[in-house]
Structure formats: C-alpha cells, structure tokens
Amino acid sequence: MCGIFCLVSLSSAHFEWDKMVYEHLRSRGPNSSQDLTVISADSSFRCLFSAHVLHMRGLLTPQPFEDAFGNILVWNGEIFGGLPVMPEENDTAVMSKRLSACSEPSEILTVLSAVRGPWAFVYYQKAGDYLWFGRDFFGRRSLLWKFDPDIGALTLTSVAAQISTYDSAHWKEIPAAGVYRIDLKAAAEAVSMSLEIFPWTHAGINVIPHCCEVIFESLPCGCSGVMNKSGLALASPVCPLNMSIPKSSDKTEIHQDSYLSISDLEELLMSKQKTDEVSHLFRVLSEAVRRRVQSLPFKEPEYTHLTNKNASIGVLFSGGIDSMILAALADQHVPAHQPIDLLNVAFKILEPKQMTGSAKKTQKHKKTPTNPKTAKTGSQTLSPFDVPDRLTGKAGLKELRDLNPERQWNFVEINVTQGELQEMRQERICHLVHPLDTVLDDSIGCAMWFAARGTGVITKDGSQRPFTSSAKVILTGIGADEQLAGYSRHRVQYKMFGHEGLVQELATELGRISSRNLGRDDRVIGDHGREARFPYLDEDVVSYLNSLPVWKKADLSLPRGVGEKLLLRLTAKQLGLGQSAVLPKRAMQFGSRIAKMEAGHERGSDKCTRLLP
C-alpha cells in the first residue's frame, strides 16, 4: 500500500501542501516519503510527484521512481500475476522497467492490460511529455482528482481531506473505466487540461456500459476529455458475465421465508451435489488467497524465524461464510508457526439515549426503543458488545480451531464506544471516506476503519489482554455477495423478474463496485499502514464465476442460508466448514451494530450529515 500524489500545474503559482492531505498520504506509506518536481524547459508546466511507501516486497524501493531516461513512476499496486516478479524483486522497479521500454501508447496499454492485481498509478513519460494515470479494472486502489481553475492545476491523489463547501474545486473518484493521458505540451499551449481516455474493452467492445457518460460526468470541472478515436484501449483482464438464463422457464417456485433450523439447512446443503464447479471454484479461490498471503516482505529475518509470534495476515472477520472461507484458505497457505489475526468489530449496544433535536422528530411516532434491562434479563452474561457479528465470530473461531488446532488464531475483539466513534469520525474517518458521503459510506467506512486498526483484546489462557495486530495485509470478503447473489435485493429481483432480473442485477453490481466500495475501503484500511487484499476479486476467480450461468452460482428458490451463494456454500463444505456454511448474509453495518448507534430512520443512500466538516 502506498500513498501517491501528483499535482500538474500550468502556471507557476506557488503550491502549498494541505497538511492534512500530506499526513493522510504518509499514514498509508510510513516507510519512505519523497517528493520530486519536473519543470518543462520553458516553464510552461510543472508536475510535483509525492510518494509514501509501505514496504511490502523486495528491498524497500523509495518512490517517485525515476529511470535512466527521466521517466517517473508513482505506483500503488501489487503484481500478483501477468508479469513475472521474482521474490527478491520490487514490483515498482519491474513496472518501471516495463513502461520505460514502451514508446507507443499501444505498448503502454499492453503492459497495463497484462498486470493481474490491484493498482493505481501516475506515470510521466518523458519522451513526448505525457502524463498517464488510472486505476485497475475493478478499481481496487483509490485515486481521486480535482481541478483548481485559480492556479490551473489538476491534482491526483490516493486520499484527500474534506474541503469547505465554499471551495470551488471538488474531489471526485477517478472512474475505474480506463486509463487517462495528458499531453502536457499541448495542455500548456492551450492553457487548458484535456484528457485522452483509453477505456477497458473486451473484444473491441467497451466493458463498462455507458463508459463515456460515466467518465464525462466525473471529469473535474475545468477539464475536458476525448475518447481515442483510433480505438486504442485496454484489454479487460476477465471474461464477460455469462448472461444466459435457464431454458425451461417454468414458473420458478419460490421458497417462502420459512424458519428452518440450522441443522435442516445443513442437511439441505449436504443433499446438494458436489459438482465440478465446486472443485474448480475451490482451486481458483485457494490460489487467489495463496498469492495474497505469500507476496509479503521477503527475507526479513523475523519472517522466517520460527519463534516470531506476530501475524503477517489479518482477516476482516464476522464469522460469516465469506470471511470463514478466507480464514480457512489462509490457514492452508500461511506458514504453520505463524498466527492469523481475526479482526472482529463490535459497536456498543446503546441504552436509549437522550435524543437531540432532529432525532427526536423522526422518532416521535416510533415505539419506545427496547429497554436494555429487559434485554439483559434474557441472558445474564450478555455484554453490550455481544453484537451479532461477535457471536458468529466466536462460533466461527471454534470451527477454525477444530479445523486446525495447531494454528494460533488470534481472535481480536475490537469494541467501539459511541464516544470513540464520534471522535475518530470527526478527526479522521470523514476525510478518508470523502468524497463518498452517504449513511452507508459512513457506517461501513467507520466499521472498517476500526476493524482494520486491529486494536482490541484477545483472550489467552482464560484471561483477556490488550492486543494490536501486526498484520500488514488484511483480507476482506468483498465481491462474494456481488458475484454469487448474496444480498437480499437479489432475492427481490429474482422474485419480481426471475433469472433475467437477477443476472442483470449482478452485471450492474460488479460494474459499480469500484465507485460504491473499493476506493473507500482502500482509503480507510490503508490509513493504518496496512494493505487490503480482495481474493474474491482476483481476476481468475472473477473470470471463472463470470463464465458460469447464474443458476450454477445461486438457487434463490431455496431458503435463505442455502440458496444465495450456493456454490460458495458447497465450497465451504468441501473445506470442512460447519454451521458457518449456512449462515444467511448480514451486512457489516447491521452485524457490527454500528447502524444501531444512530437514532432515527435513515436510509443507506441518504447523505450523511455526520460526515460533514
């Protein structure tokens, strides 16, 4: 994980760092911080690069990385495949070497299309004075832009900060719809910033529906964009989604939400055939996890030292099926002596609080909130942090211990109080989530920030002690629900429009995962100097799932807990998992109870006033 930044300026106006932006960049890359400025011979343009590196692989390679020809690269990415990277090599250097061998744009696009793994980058191509930048196909790394007309400057950055609403320039996420190129000389001559766009395509067709509109809508005010008419483009790293629907479209019988017991659900799952698809998914997912847990700092003496009891890998862990599979697969690939940290976040279940102005209004017509005293009498031992995800997390821990009793599993209980949430949201998280701004962005952004901080307690030999995770890599389960129909809205689509509606919904969701989730998650997790990795969004995993028709991935005529993500549940069984294989989906904001912390009826898509400065 790195923090990268580039300011392209067409005037010689004085530039001053926003201290907060600089600090946020540094948090992402605590191991090396450097700036580098390029000024054109006639001073008509200037680029300031700033890079902050978290040391992951090879020897620490400081950035901005300048090659012998004067090309400059800032790279926030991981090459997990596609281009060879030897264990002792640093991928920044590998990338730079590849790029500097390119002269034509088509060659640069070929190199970028070949990379398997997440990336965001800015590259100054000295020959011709071009500036290239962009994000990978899914948008797994954040990159924002903003154009400031007063100083004629375009800024690109991994992370920003909230700015006052009076500011004329605004941050936006750069659409992960292609890569962009600025002809700096032409821009300086025209005194205007024009971007050339090279979209992601598959067999000559734009992969992102309405790609041009999406990009033009997101262009910073004051910049213009042109699609490359000669058809130069990036080649999509995954095959397109199989849109076929079953031939026999007999009226799909839909299982009413009946209340089957866990063991009924398990029995139902066991009755389903273990198909070739299960073994295939198992293989590609296992390989995706292997690549993500083994691409770690190399040759650090502590890494191979058997007595080191510090984990390198953490999992955002709710005990649900997605995170259980990641933990169980990590177990197969992480050296046996090394612990694995399971990061489990819980927000304190509140006593009804004195409500303030606006909250009171929306609550007026609601019944009194449940009295915590009556809740307590139910079970004497219930702690206010025993939220649903804590309970399933503990059950999941037990399953993992049964699976591998030799492994040291660090179940990190991360308890967050209302006061701490408010403080950290104001001080930090609102800036990281920005420019996203909804109630859902607030809930998930905050929950992930605390989870990824990894500070809580672990229980060892019957006693609890404070603990902070040492993991530099954090695996998250994002992408499983979007691809295998895990959300309740998928059931709604299926009920209303059958397989056709469902497959359309899945196509839409994968297309917008970068703007809905990934940029935000990357900014929030990266703030702790840790790197988020997403095995369900590995190119091979997505390609395989995309190739399957929807009915092999999910069967929504079956009850909740079995039908959605059916293929994944069968894979979990193959891995030896137990009850966690039949847990219904619970979104993080509800499972962690963060959504309960705020009074009133809010919809996830509402603008969140708590995120404002």
Ligand X SMILES: *[C@@H]1O[C@H](CO)[C@@H](O)[C@H](O)[C@H]1NC(C)=O
Taking CB under 6 A as the criterion, the residue among 37, 43, 464, 488 binding ligand X is 464
Question: 3-class DSSP state for residue 280?
Answer: helix
In the complex, minimum distance from the CB of residue 359 to ligand X, in angstroms, rounded to a whole number: 26
Tokens 């797994």 belong to: 140
∠ CA 203-207-211 to the nearest 5 degrees? Answer: 130
Of 359 and 457, the one with the shorter C-beta distance to ligand X is 457
In the complex, minimum distance from the CB of residue 593 to ligand X, in angstroms, rounded to a whole number: 11
Where does residue 581 rank: exposed (0-12), middle (13-18), buried (19+ CB within 10 A)? Answer: buried
φ, ψ for residue 133, nearest 5 deg: -160, 165
Of 335 and 576, the one with the shorter C-beta distance to ligand X is 335
| Number of residues lying near ligand X (CB under 6 A) | 36
Query: From CA 526, how far away is CA 523, in angstroms rounded?
Result: 5
The three-state (H, E, C) secondary structure of 117-162, written as one string:
CCEEEEEEECCCCEEEEEECCCCCCCCEEEEECCCCEEEEECCCCC
Which positions from 520 through 549 interact with ligand X, judged by CB under 6 A?
529, 547, 549
φ, ψ for residue 76, nearest 5 deg: -120, 85
Determine if 374 is a binding residue for ligand X (CB under 6 A): no
Q: Any residues with CB less than 8 A from the CB of 268 and at least 6 apart, and which?
A: 260, 558, 559, 562
x/- binding map, residues 161-200, to ligand X, per CB under 6 A? -----------------------------------x----
Query: From CA 145, how far away is CA 170, in angstroms rounded?
Result: 8
Of 60 and 101, the one with the shorter C-beta distance to ligand X is 60
Q: Where are the alpha helices (DSSP H) in 344-386?
A: 357-363, 372-378
Indicate if 211 belongs to the active site. no
For strand 409-416 and strand 340-347, is the pairing parallel, antiparallel, or unpaired?
parallel
Tokens 């299309």 belong to: 113
Determine if 415 is a binding residue for ligand X (CB under 6 A): yes
For strand 46-53 and strand 32-39, is the pairing parallel, antiparallel, or unpaired?
antiparallel
Taking CB under 6 A as the criterion, the residue among 457, 573, 584, 598 binding ligand X is 457
Q: Cβ distance 101 to 26 under 8 Å?
A: no
x/- binding map, residues 548-587, to ligand X, per CB under 6 A? -x--------------------------------------
Of 246 and 613, the one with the shorter C-beta distance to ligand X is 246
Question: 3-class DSSP state for residue 67?
Answer: coil
Q: Cβ distance 113 to 178 under 8 Å?
A: no
In the complex, minimum distance from the CB of residue 54 to ligand X, in angstroms, rounded to a whole number: 7
Determine if 77 is a binding residue for ligand X (CB under 6 A): no
Taking CB under 6 A as the criterion, the residue among 263, 332, 383, 418 binding ligand X is 383
Of 144 and 506, the one with the shorter C-beta distance to ligand X is 506
Taking CB under 6 A as the criterion, the residue among 61, 236, 318, 338 binding ligand X is 61
Of 396 and 519, the one with the shorter C-beta distance to ligand X is 396
x/- binding map, residues 282-321, to ligand X, per CB under 6 A? --------------------x-----x-x-----------
In the complex, minimum distance from the CB of residue 412 to ligand X, in angstroms, rounded to a whole number: 10
Strand-pair partners of 177: none
In the complex, minimum distance from the CB of residue 273 to ligand X, in angstroms, rounded to a whole number: 15
Query: From CA 115, how far away is CA 33, in angstroms rounded?
Result: 25
x/- binding map, residues 588-607, to ligand X, per CB under 6 A? --------------------
Which positions from 324 through 353 interact with ligand X, judged by CB under 6 A?
346
In the complex, minimum distance from the CB of residue 439 to ligand X, in angstroms, rounded to a whole number: 25
Binding part of the chain for ligand X, among 276-284, 464-472, 537-545, 577-585 by CB under 6 A, reads 464-472
What is the secondary structure of 487-556 as a DSSP string? SHHHHHHHHHHHHHHHHHHHHHHHHTHIIIIIHHHHHHHHTTT-EEE-GGG-HHHHHHHHHS-GGGT--T
Determine if 275 is a binding residue for ligand X (CB under 6 A): no
Determine if 59 is a binding residue for ligand X (CB under 6 A): yes
Q: Which two tokens stand for residue 34?
A: 């450097």
Determine if 90 is a binding residue for ligand X (CB under 6 A): yes
* Active site positions, annotated: 2
Binding residues for ligand X (CB under 6 A): 30-31, 55, 58-61, 89-90, 93, 105, 196, 226, 228-230, 232, 242, 244, 302, 308, 310, 346, 383, 385-386, 390, 413, 415, 457, 464, 468, 470, 529, 547, 549
